[in-house]
Amino acid sequence: MRIGLFIPCFMNELYPNICKATYKLLKNQGLQIEYPLNQTCCGQPMANSGCSKDVKKLAIEFVKTFKDFDYIVAPSGSCVAMVKEHYAEFFDNDKDYNKVKASIYEVCEFFHDIIKVENINFNVSFPHKVGLHNSCHGHRVLKLATASELNIPYDSKLKNLLNKISDIELVTLRREDECCGFGGTFSVQEEAISVAMGKDRIKDHLDSNAEIMTGADMSCLMHMDGIINRDKNPIKVMHIVEILAGVKP
């Protein structure tokens, strides 16, 4: 099984330790991991801003870079959703893109659905109260958890993985799948609304006595971490791969 590790551009620049934790997490399961050095942005920021010509160039480069891997794995639900859901208009039923689309997974989705939960032993302890933030793209596009509006029995791939961690306590939130307000360029264009939504999301975690806020999209966590730091809230943000890889708060 040959796996291409896709690291989102902003994580490469701002959160290298999370990128390293992702690599470690995959290697610890005995997987063959390769990191293509010529990879670049998936094009999501450009897509959010309506720059479709720029997105096309990046989409073509992305497919060229990753088309030969058995699986493509990334620690970002929104970037994976970008490739799976928004590249098709640039390819005319292209076999290489179709393969990439079928092969790309958010890292938790990959562990849950491909490696399978029952085959995984993270062998780490995390004795903290943890609140899980379900980011919109991962939650509703990749189906990492059940959207509340569907009114069907709830399931969460992220929680199923976190429950494999010793001593962890997952707190119950009042609203399991509320948006944090980041939305990429939305947070710039509608700053006040974005911040208000982020504060609401943080308050839900604080009211549930969470020590750690986690999730599968560092973009959303980055947004809320900024608010937490400005407001000096007593809660810490960690990407889910850090917890699964045994990183301490």
Which of 64, 81, 114 corresponds to the end of one domain?
Answer: 114
pLDDT at residue 48, rounded to an integer: 78
pLDDT 10s digits, 198-244? 999 999 999 999 999 999 999 999 999 999 999 999 999 999 999 99
| Residue 236 shares a structural domain with residue 139 | yes
**What six digits make up the tokens of 27?**
């290697």
Element housing 237 (H / E): strand 236-239
Separation CA 212–CA 130 (nearest Å): 5
| Residue 110 shares a structural domain with residue 47 | yes
Separation CA 165–CA 212 (nearest Å): 14
Residue labelled with tokens 């264009």: 189
- Per-residue confidence band for 53, with pLDDT thresholds at 50, 70 and 90: confident
| Residue 149 shares a structural domain with residue 85 | no
Are 160 and 146 within 8 A, CB to CB?
Answer: no
Number of domains in the chain: 2
Whether 125 shows a pLDDT value over 90: the answer reads: yes
pLDDT at residue 49, rounded to an integer: 80
Which of 114, 132, 148 corresponds to the end of one domain?
Answer: 114
| Residue 110 shares a structural domain with residue 178 | no
Whether 79 shows a pLDDT value over 90: the answer reads: yes
The whole-angstrom distance between residue 116's C-alpha and the CA centroid of its chain comes to 18
| CATH value at residue 210 | 3.40.50.11810
| Residue 133 shares a structural domain with residue 103 | no
Residue labelled with tokens 């970037």: 79
pLDDT 10s digits, 147-169? 888 888 889 999 999 999 999 99
DSSP 206: H
* pTM flag (> 0.85): yes
Whether 184 shows a pLDDT value over 90: the answer reads: no
Mean pLDDT over each residue of the chain, to the nearest integer = 93
Domain of 109, in residue numbers? 3-114
**Which string of b and e fits 204-219 if b means at least 16 CB within 10 Å?**
bbeeeebbbbbbbbbb
Which of 72, 93, 114 corresponds to the end of one domain?
Answer: 114
Whether 183 shows a pLDDT value over 90: the answer reads: no
| Residue 131 shares a structural domain with residue 191 | yes
| Residue 79 shares a structural domain with residue 128 | no
